[in-house]
Every structure is written in structure tokens, then in C-alpha cells.
Amino acid sequence: DAGIGEYDHYMQKEIFEQAAVLKQTLEGRIANGRLLSDCFGKGAEEAFRSIEEVQIVACGTSFHAGLVAKYWFESVAGLPCHIEVASEFRYRPHIVIRKTLFVTISQSGETADTLAALQASSDIGYAHTLTICNVPESSLVRESEWALMTKAGPEIGVASTKAFTTQLTALLLLVIALGKHHKIDDKKEIEIVRQLEVLPEQVAEVLRLEPDIIEFAKQFSNKHHALFLGRGEQYPVAMEGALKLKEISYIHAEAYPAGELKHGPLALVDDQMPVVAVAPNNDLLEKLKSNLQEVQARGGELFVFADTHAIFEEVKGLKIIRVSEINEIVAPIIYTVPLQLLAYHVAVIKGTDVDQPRNLAKSVTVE
């Protein structure tokens, strides 16, 4: 359905479609706690056995999906993973030592820089190519050996939302498929697949936070700058949150891994600089909390998305929205959703053109 239905904008509709499209992305690819073997196309399963490394290339939001996947490949699957924006990758020499899978990520499948990087990859010496893409008839799909389609349906809003979360979901399938020949044993595969099975329902649940997020959004509309903080695989989630906010609300937003605050951005923090943090209950939570105290001490206003069980002291300038407890592996997907809603509602309050922000294009087919 390409219509806008009950929603005010395509972006809002696409945010709310996420539970359904994630389900679609998983359909026919997992069953009984396992990844089904023929998801990636002819010859892929066999070739994956010999892959020792992954190189990801993408642009924009798709690049952020790749950044999350780097954490997954290295920490969960046990494969080295490199990632670079396509516009940089294509203009420098590369050294490929091991058998490396070259992975492009793209909603449109037509981004000029990503396509040019793919076209250069076989000469450079990458073993195989795979694209994670949303448009079946696109150039990237045609020119890659294998394609894993994201099945998000048409995305109309220039600011990418459902394409991103379906990319992450598809990437987790690839993490399992490659990781099986490395660090992922049967038990781990079953655990990840179980998390994927409940993911659509968890996304539906986090979408119910919209009224609370609107309250947050009201406090951003007259601001000129914002900081987004995350640690570990939540750092790219923070980057994506900052990108969404700047794309559609025109508020200057930057993301930092929270531990870097003291190396510069802390100098900017005052009561005019809202700071958003994504804080699931993981190993880095205590470290993140001490980073947040640095912000509080400078009068900064903190907007935190935290796990139900994460304990925060009640202090002035700290506002928390609780996200129900979720498994760490899918946390980047879940925590992305409230940040999309935050950007969306700030833009709505500011009255900007949400679906077609100034100066931006949905698909960048020129250099």
C-alpha cells in the first residue's frame, strides 16, 4: 500500500510499519530456531564456508546499519569486519589478504558511489559479492553475486526508517550464516533466531512509547544543537538518531561514543544543548552513567532511553523513557525506533517538510 492511510506523513507511516516489515524480512528465512539454508541464493552457503573476513561498503543510513553489523560480525560471529563509506572506499587502494566477502548495503540499490565500489571490488580481489538491498530490480542486485532482499516495501520518506531496521535484521541473518563457520555454535544460533522471532512484537511495543516521545520532542523544537550518545553497538544507533534529527528538523546534531565526551564535546554542553543517550542494560551501562554525570554537572539536559531495569538516580535535568527489557543482540534495532519517532515529532512541531527535507534526495545516483 503506497498510500498514506491514517498517518500524517509517509515517514510516520513507515516508522509504524516496522513491526510488519521486519516480519516480512524474516519470513521463509528462519524456522524452528534455525536459519534456513537457502536464504542467500545459489552457491552462497557453500562459498560462505571459506569466507574469513567481511568488507562492508554503504552510504548514509545504510552505512550506519553496516557499523552496527561490524560489532555483530566481530563479537558474535568471530569474523574480522571492515566498513567504509562508499565515496571514500572507491578512491583509495585496498589490500585484501584473506578470503573476503564484499557486502554492499543500500535501500535503493542505485547509490552511485556504492555501485562504483561494487564494480571495483572484483579487480581489487574480493572473493565474492553480496548486497543487502530493498529494490529487487536495482543495479546493485543485478551486479552482485548474491542479494539478500530487505522486503521493507517502497520507502517514500527521504529519511530512511524501515529500510534501516530491515537492513539490520537481514544483516543478523548474514551474521549467523557466516558465523556458523566461526564462533556461532548451534546454541548461539538458536538464541539469535529466537530473538529475531520476537523482534516484531518488541518493535510494536516500543512504538507505543510515542506519546512520551512527543513530550521529549517539545523540548527540542527551539534548540539549535543536540548531542546523541551511545556506547558499543549503540554508538551507530546514536549516529543514526542524530542523522534523522538533522535531516528532517534541521537541528544540528552530532553523535559521540559517550567515552569521547571529555575529549571535546563537553565544552559545548550547557542548558541549551539537549543530550540524548541510548542506554540499554548492558556491560557498558555503568560507564555510560558516569559519562552522563559529566553532562549533568555542566547543566546539560539529558534525555535517556533506558532499559526498565537500569537504575538512574533522580536528578534535575534528567528525563527517562523506559524501554522494556530486551536481549542485547537485537537492542540496536529496538533502540533505533524511539530515536526515529523523536526526530519525526521534532520536525512536525517545527513544521518542516518531513517527507522531503530541503536539499536532500531519496536516492543519490550522481557522484
60 lies in the binding site for ligand G6P (CB under 6 A): yes
Q: Establish if 362 lies at the interface with ligand G6P (CB under 6 A).
A: yes
Measured from the CB atom, is 160 or 291 closer to ligand G6P? 160
* Residue choice 12, 106, 129, 131 for contact with ligand G6P (CB under 6 A): 106
Residue nearest ligand G6P by beta-carbon distance = 60
Nearer to ligand G6P, 111 or 291 (CB): 111
Identity of the residue, 67 or 76, whose beta carbon is nearer to ligand G6P in the bound complex: 67
Q: Which is nearer to ligand G6P, 106 or 336 (CB)?
A: 106
**Integer Cα distance of 237 and 117 in angstroms:** 25
Contacts of 88 (CB under 8 A, 6+ apart): none
Question: Which of 25, 87, 129, 160 touches ligand G6P (CB under 6 A)?
Answer: 160
Residue 87 as a binder of ligand G6P (CB under 6 A): the answer is no
Place of cell 542479494: 147
Active-site residue (options: 188, 223, 350, 362): 362
Which of 263, 258, 266, 269 minimizes the C-alpha distance to 233? 258
Give least dist CB 360 to ligand G6P, A: 5
**Spatial separation of the C-alpha atoms in residues 300 and 276, rounded to whole Å:** 10
Per CB under 6 A, does 107 bind ligand G6P? Answer: yes
CA distance 255 to 218: 20
User: In terms of Cα–Cα distance, which of 145, 44, 56, 151 is closest to 107?
Assistant: 151
* Ranges within 186-215 binding ligand G6P (CB under 6 A): none
Q: Give the integer Cα–Cα distance in Å for 23 and 347.
A: 28
Residue 364 within binding range of ligand G6P, rule CB under 6 A: yes
d(CA 66, CA 133): 12
* Strand-by-strand arrangement of the 225-230 sheet: 252-257, 225-230, 275-279, 302-307, 318-323
Q: Does 61 bind ligand G6P (CB under 6 A)?
A: yes
Q: Of 18, 87, 114, 150, which one interacts with ligand G6P (CB under 6 A)?
A: 114
Cβ neighbours, 10 Å, residue 137 = 7
Our finding on whether 236 is near ligand G6P (CB under 6 A) is: no
Cell numbers linked to 217: 520532542
Q: Is 108 in the site for ligand G6P (CB under 6 A)?
A: yes
166 belongs to the binding site for ligand G6P (CB under 6 A): no
Residue 68 found at the interface with ligand G6P (CB under 6 A) = no
| CA 144/CA 130 separation, integer angstroms | 6
Q: Does 59 engage in binding with ligand G6P (CB under 6 A)?
A: yes
Of 163, 202, 135, whose CA–CA distance to 14 is shortest?
163
Query: Is residue 144 at the binding interface for ligand G6P, with CB under 6 A as the rule?
Result: no
Of 327 and 363, which CB lies nearer to ligand G6P in the complex structure?
363
Give the span between the Cα atoms of 155 and 61, in whole angstroms: 13
Cell of 67: 557499523
Choices 9-17, 104-112, 124-132, 176-184; region in contact with ligand G6P by CB under 6 A: 104-112
Q: How far apart are CA 39 and CA 70, in angstroms?
A: 21
# residues near ligand G6P by CB under 6 A = 15
CA distance 334 to 157: 20
Whether 362 is a known active-site residue: answer yes
Residue 364: CB minimum distance to ligand G6P, A: 5
> Looking at beta carbons only, is 77 or 135 nearer to ligand G6P?
135
Q: Are strands 34-35 and 30-31 parallel, antiparallel or unpaired?
A: antiparallel
- Catalytically annotated residues: 362
Residues that bind ligand G6P (CB under 6 A): 59-62, 106-108, 111, 114, 158, 160, 360, 362-364
